[in-house]
Amino acid sequence: MEHLAQAAKLLAQAQRVVVFTGAGISAESGVPTFRDALTGLWERFDAQSLATPQAFQDDPDLVWGWYEWRRHRVTSVRPNPGHEAVAAVERHAPHTAVITQNVDDLHERAGSAQPVHLHGSLFAPRCSLCGFPAPLPASEGEPDDGRRLPPPACTRCSGPVRPGVVWFGEALPESALEDAVRAAAGCDVLLTVGTSGLVYPAAEIPRLAARSGAAVIQVNPQPTPLDPIARVNLHGAAATVLPAVVAAAWP
Ligand code: OAD
């Protein structure tokens, strides 16, 4: 309780807030995190080995099928009270930037104005050859687990369409990274929620904020490598802890 009150006070007094989120904030909506074992027919795959340019080159149908399965999964779930609390922080503290590593759209659907997507989006496919944006394939219900799907052809050059996400070994979208760096370097409080803090360069964002003098507040049920830089560690689930912090900050 003492930690919660301390976090609430820091937030209520902040002029500039950054909320930095990872897969953990969407876990309670039913979107598996990357460290969770995949279930069903996907359980024999490792999420990280499907998320590479090489995997798409070797087996485009497998990788496209996996991302289509994830997109349908995300479409069928709803934002949880954690996402809603983040949107509430934006309403109470007008200079708030939301920076997410998630490729889902649950922040937007909870009312966040313009979350910065450091790792792209499941909803912005593009040609893997010429980069031309591609329409989202028509929805035919949720594809079965483990189903391969051939990627659509680009309407401009006929190349295979790929998901609009950042894969391991690829650069982050330049403008998203610039926005994130600027916000982190200039904030007084950074609230990091549901991220393992293991994947760079995204994991540099809370560290940059701490080096620039911001108070870092962490929400995560597990210890992470960000524990030492956090001024306040709130060990718990985002959908429970975040609404409690917001209620205490702006009673
Ligand atoms: P991870 O899957 O690495 O970590 C999820 C974190 O959420 C863990 O620290 C969990 O303890 C925590 N967590 C689980 N349930 C939670 C809950 N209910 N409330 C709060 N926290 C909870 O996800 P990310 O850190 O987002 O990159 O992963 C970073 C990047 O690695 C991803 O964006 C993705 C991935 O591989 C790419 O695809 C490029």
Q: Give the pTM.
A: 0.95
Task: Tell me the average pLDDT of the chain.
Answer: 93
Each residue's pLDDT tens digit, 173-196: 999 999 999 999 999 999 999 999
pLDDT of residue 112: 98
Quickly name the fold that domain 1-29+78-119+171-251 has.
Rossmann fold (3.40.50)
Each residue's pLDDT tens digit, 50-88: 899 999 999 999 999 989 988 998 999 999 999 999 999
Q: What value does the mean pLDDT take over residues 131-142? A: 81
Which of 212, 169, 173, 166 lies closest to 189, judged by CA? 212
Q: Assess whether the C-beta atom of 49 lies below 6 angstroms from ligand 1.
A: no
Backbone angles phi, psi at 162, to 5 degrees: -125, 160
Q: What value does the mean pLDDT take over residues 245-249? A: 98
Q: How many angstroms does the Cα of residue 21 sit away from the middle of ligand 1?
A: 8
Architecture of domain 32-76+124-165: 2-Layer Sandwich (3.30)
pLDDT of residue 97: 98
Residues of the chain with CATH 3.30.1600.10: 32-76+124-165
User: Which one of the listed residues 83, 107, 117, 119 is annotated catalytic?
Assistant: 119
Q: What value does the mean pLDDT take over residues 154-171? A: 97
**Residue to substitute in 196, 207, 219, 245 for testing ligand 1 pocket (most ligand atoms within 8 angstroms of CB):** 196
Backbone angles phi, psi at 39, to 5 degrees: -110, 180
**Residue to substitute in 25, 100, 199 for testing ligand 1 pocket (most ligand atoms within 8 angstroms of CB):** 199
Q: What value does the mean pLDDT take over residues 91-117? A: 97
Which of 100, 103, 150, 101 lies closest to 128, judged by CA? 150
Residues of the chain with CATH 3.40.50.1220: 1-29+78-119+171-251
Q: Assess whether the C-beta atom of 242 lies below 6 angstroms from ligand 1.
A: no
Q: How many angstroms does the Cα of residue 32 sit away from the middle of ligand 1?
A: 9
